[in-house]
Structure 1
Amino acid sequence: MESSPALSALLGLLLALWTAGAVWVMLRASGREQKSLASRKLALRLSRLIEEGPAIPLLVRADGRIEAPDRLARWIGLDKVPDYLSELSGPDGRGLTEQQIDDLTRNVRRTQRTARPFRMEVAVVPGSGKSLAMHGSLADPAVSPGGAALVWVFDFSDSEAELAQLREEAARAREDFGALVGLIEAAPMPMWFRGADMLLRLVNKAYVSAVGAESADQVVADQIELVETVNGRTAAQVAQQAADRRQPIERILSATIDNARRTIRVTDLPLMGEGIAGYAVDIEEMEEQAREFRAFREAQRSMLDQLSIGVAQFDAAHRMTFANQPFHRVFALPPGVVNERTTFQQMLLIARENGRIPEVRDFPAWRNELAEWFLRDEPHEEAWPLPDSTHLRIIAQPLPDGGLVMIAEDRTEQLALSATRDTLLRTRTATFDNLFEALAVFAPDGHLELWNRGFPGAWGIDPEVLDGHPQAEDLLEAIAKNLADPAAVSRINQVIRAATLDRKKSDDRIELSDGRTLDFAGVPLPDGNGLLTVLDVTASRQAEEALRERNRALEEADAVMTRFLANMSYEFRTPLTSIGGFAELLTSGIAGELTPQAKEYAQAISLSVGKLTEQVENVLDLSQSEAGLMPLRKTELELLPFITQIVRKQEGRILDGELTLDLKGNPDKSVTADPQQLRRAISQLLDNAIKGTPRGGRIVVDIGRKRGETKIIISDNGRGMSQHELARALEGIRMAPGGKGIERRQGLGIPLARQLIEAHDGTLDIQSRKNGGTTATITLP
């Protein structure tokens, strides 16, 4: 049968539709399979995410059945997840406790009824040792319809340990903070805290007391600063500077604390992002002690500079910190050794170069031995003999800080004095033993210390009695046996006591039983002892008696001489006056005209009578002056006219000798004196000047006044006298040796002039030199 084209087309269309449907079915099936595979992969991935997640879901249905991963069983210490919530407690105490299950059940029921979420913590679970946190809420109906509760279980075991540690640290920090706050509050020093804005936030009681405020709140409210503005910077600005530098700033300044100016050390301490803390330490006492120490050190060093002993100080590093001037001189150190901080070893080297240390064979080893002085516990002393015979006494005094004080004393003079003292002691002993006097030295306590060999012999006692240095009482007891009056021994005791205890000098005389007479005296010595001197005056006493007898005879002879001189003045002058008068009568021719030769004889007689009269008057005046019988009739005299008259009388002799005489002086000068006696004194001196001046010579008479005294100077340029001749001229007439007769020396002029001037309370001074002239100076009051 033939098909129609329409049927073929319909069949073709149906076949195409079938094929298209088959292809669509195949494609859809393939898409579903792919979606199913993707869903399985997503579910597996979500399951693994839940397994690896920090939380485990626990689904609790309305009937108490539970669904959870097996990992939850391991967290709560069970082998597998049970079917019901009440079965989370396992055997042997594993799993949750009954109380924990009850709390969880109650929270779950409440969430299922009210949809209110809950949170709870489960302490360490037995069997697993984990701490769990549970966050519960009503499950989404897509997850579980019918009012199920979804509980997410978190493991915060590590967080719990950290949290416990943090709690412990927080508690400890709170305790420490409380203690720190209490400490700061009770601190005796002002302390404060500033915020980031540099304003005061906190102060302690000491700060409040220092600024004189009522409370800390007032200080913070009024921003009362303890530290004043210094150099234009306030305390807040200094604190800001410390914050900017992130370093503490410490400064020393003065502040008013408790109404008194005190020196304080202020510290601003920046805190990491918290602000600035500050505190002030009162260092007034420390500063005062430092000032006192500096003053003491300066005074000590100034005092050491005044000592004659060398002193140097070294620090713990063996560097020289001080040396006085005597130390520089002893070791010949150059200036600046202290400023250069010279070491001990360098100082020894300098001293060695200058020859101021002993000669040693191994200087480095010797120097190292001296360096051990710094390590000693006690002072060390050495004697250093130097090459120039200087002897040094070295003392090394270690210091507690490891330093050393070195003292150098030059004992050269002391050793020389010691040797001299030993010599003097030996000399004293030899002198004591060979003195004519008997000597003994008593100590203040009364015992005999020293005596010479003559002491026991003077008192007639045995020398062995003195060997034991007996007490004065025992010695006097032995002496009393040899006294004419034993009771008189108390006088010796009083003299010894006065010399040793009363420090007074006293003497006395005592008679011995053998007829001897002793003079003894007590003399206090500078060392506190007393010296008893004893002298045998037996012969002296006998001679004294003889002298007394002779003195009485001399006194009687002196009285006879006085009467003789009083009569001789008349007896000598009367015959001479008569002889002179008769010679003048013969010369005048009253007895007849004389021959030229007779006239010459008569004139010679008159001249000899004049000279003899003058000599007799000189002898009488000199004798009267020496006997104190010179009569003076003082009147007011103008010196220049008075001396001019004396010179005029010698004018002939001056012209005959071709001499020049200069008379100088103020015409207003006057003195009170006896004109006759003063004329005789000046005439004698002028006469000697004329005699001693050769022809053509010059004589000067000068009248002056100095310091209330009148001086008359008579000088010449004649031949002068030696010192021996001048001494003989001043003696004039003296008694001959043996006291028998009169021995005449160079004449009576100078001695008579001196006696006459001394009778006027004046003085005569004669200076002469052989071939150099003579100068006589008369000084009158």
Structure 2
Amino acid sequence: MTAYRSARPPTDRQGLLEALGVRNASAEACFESLVAMAAHALGAPTALLSFLDAETVWVKACVGWDDERSYGADGSFCQFVVRSGQALWVDDVSRESPWSGSHLVQSHPWIRAYAGVPIEFAGATVGALSVMSPAVGVFCRQDEPSLLRLATVVKGLLNARIAQWLRQQEAQRSMEFARISGDWLWETDAQGHYEWLWGASFERKTGLAPERLEGQPVLGGPIVDWLGAPVEPPDTFEAVLHRQETFSALLVQVDVSGHRLIVARAGEPHHGADGRFLGYRGSSRDVTAQIELNRQLALANQLREVAEQTTRASNRFMSQVSHELRTPLNAILGFTQLMVVDHESGMAPRQIERMNHVHDAASRLLSLINDMLDLGRAQEGRLVLGTRDVAVASALKSALALVETAAAGRNIAVTVDAPDGLCVQADPRALDQVLLNLLSNGVKYNVDGGRLTIHARRVDGHVAIAVQDTGMGLTEAELGQLFQPFNRLGAGKGGTPGTGLGLVICQALLLSMKGQIDVKSCPGEGTVVTIRLPGCAAPAALVEAGVPAAGP
């Protein structure tokens, strides 16, 4: 099935007459000859070929007619024939209504006898071929076939004319499409010289006037690909024309007026009736900007691939190093803890204090290593999460239990608003990790005597959990850097512990659970971190303390 639709003639009489170009008084030899034949065939002194639009009769050709070439349609012979679609044959119109009062009857040319047949075209009656005489009863009905045959010839002439009009419409439409698309059209002779160039975009793009190139060799150059690189094996536009090949979307590098263009061309050989090659007909379009965009996209893809490879290599290295470091760190943690609690070691209080510093530093380093391992798994897609139905209130209770001591130590008031029955689809351990990180941040980056508020609500099939603090808040610039690994936004300068990986890991975990995280903040007013996870109907036995309800 094709989407192409050719131009079609108008379906109404007025539109047809406009397309046929017959609503004018200029004489045309082909129609004049037919009218003369009608007058001769029926022995009439007057013959007319008339066309009717909404209000006017247009006399296109006539013999023996000295009156106006256009007149009002009301009450006219032509109007009757067109509206009835039948032949009209009257011996004495002076005795017939409504024509008896016509000025054609009451004055020159003193019409009495009238004979006329309809001109039918494209499913509509558009006019009449008629003969008239001042004598009564001079036309014989047996002559009607002669008049009808001449009317058929008129129809043939109109068919030829409408075919020409359709071709003009097609050409005009093609030109309009070419103008809108920015294309220009061209034609060459057999030697590859321009014979015709059309399109306003040609001069705008090349700086050359089309008429100056007529008779000149076609603008050629090397064939390139969609990145602007020469094709292999090398080829040129001139060689393609010489081979007389049909081509489409052929990219040609053209150097013209001191600059370089990439032009997409389509064309096919044109042959005469005898099969002789006459030249090419085709179209062209400037695609220089598109080629440049393709280059930039290709470069961006290459850079992204390099960055991804670098990240993967870095993650593998960090994972290997981290695993190697965990064993000695765990040993350091164990031995320092044993030394502190071993009362028989005889360590002085000052030594015990220093040993606690070693233990704390090793703990922070181990936490950093664990975060880096989690981040590496997330970035490489190696996180294996199993989503289940998890009770929001229970998960919040477990996470709050781990931060309540720190919150109480800074006199931070904690408020929880989580209706019973809220349930999400999540990996229990991953959700615990996310909530613990958000609540820990809400305490660490809060002010002494501040507030920490947790809201949980069901919204459009999801559950939103918002953690709001009353800390110093973040600027717009800081919010834009919030999810960059190891970027703590200057928090480390104030002595607040952390690795700068917590939110990055939270984001990766949430994405793996088909969730999302959003942060809003205002300097001096605090920060609100909202996570969203797919909601679910609360099961009969809700998950408690991060352990899923019984199930398969």
Higher relative contact order structure (alpha carbons within 8 Å, sequence separation ≥ 6): 2
When Rg is computed on C-alpha atoms for both structures, the one with the higher figure is: 1
**Bin of the TM-score, shorter chain as denominator length:** 0.3 to 0.5
